[in-house]
Amino acid sequence: MSTTFQLDTATSRANPTPQPMKRLTVPAIQRRKVEGVTADPLVMLTAYTARQAQLLDPHCDLLLVGDSLGQVIYGLPSTLPVTLDMMVAHGAAVVRGSYHSVVIVDMPFGSYEASPQAAFTSASRIMAETGAAGVKLEGGVAMAETIAFLTQRGIPVMAHIGLTPQAVNALGGYAARGRSEAEEAKIIADGKAVAQAGAFAVVIEGVVEPIAVALTQALSIPTIGIGASAQCDGQVLVTEDMLGMFERTPRFVKRYGDIAGMISATAAAYAGEVRDRSFPSAEQTYQPKA
């Protein structure tokens, strides 16, 4: 039996509550793909806080503490300024708020590229201080040696190929990848390299669909698509994107709600009642005892 942290509505404090369910494991995720086929697609969403994790956890197989938190939480222009300290703090919060999903934490830019040894130092800190099940890093052939180094030392690695946001400056923007023969060949080679190096799964982002389908069919490890194909072994989205928290919706995102509109309308209702002095009413205030 595992433990999560439920909010005590009387105090707003988080208290540990046992849950009648064991957390999924990395090997369990790998076993979902049998003879090249995943009959039950993997569901993955981003999470950055304990409360968000509590709400998403029952519906997901994996929760990704993405470096997208730089833009979503901190208002940064890209993922590049995100620090290891940020990832560790949010990773620990998501682990505390979940009990079912496999929690994976992004390794931020600059924390793993220098050498396999540097990557191990960063990854081991993430694992030790968050309790996460594994880490994710961007790059294909160039990162294969690092992936092998980490996995051989007991750190599960999810790879990330195709459109890799940390390399946006080198790529020249966020356009879909794989439109040329050279790009297609590179993406295919990257996918095969990370699988051979020992990655337990691979995110395929922003590639033309036939490449995602070909890789899904060719690789023995699960593929997680984002802007790729429904034929991938699973899908991931930035939760705030699919909830409708931002005005702009990327092409590959389906908006399943309008949380931004709901928050704005609710704040407007509150502001109106404060200004006309109808809040707080007798129901929200403490009166002398008779």
Q: Which domains occur in the chain, in start order?
A: 2-259 (3.20.20.60)
pTM over 0.85? The answer is yes
Is residue 229 marked as binding? no
Catalytically active residues are 205
Does 241 carry a binding-site annotation? no
67 is in an annotated binding site: yes
Q: Are 68 and 45 in contact (CB under 8 A)?
A: no
pLDDT per residue as tens digits for the range 92-112: 999 999 999 999 999 999 999
Tell me whether the omega of the peptide bond preceding residue 280 falls within 30 degrees of 0, making it cis: yes
| Rounded-to-integer distance, Cα 150 and Cα 116, Å | 7
Q: Residue 132 — very low, low, confident or very high, per pLDDT cuts 50/70/90?
A: very high
5 versus 70: which is more confidently predicted? 70
**CB-CB neighbours of 179 under 10 Å:** 12
How confident is residue 74, by pLDDT bands cut at 50, 70 and 90? very high
Q: How confident is the model at residue 14 (pLDDT cuts 50, 70, 90)?
A: low
Q: What is the pLDDT of residue 2?
A: 46
**136 is known to lie in a ligand binding site:** yes
Residue 164's SS3 state is coil
pLDDT of residue 1: 35
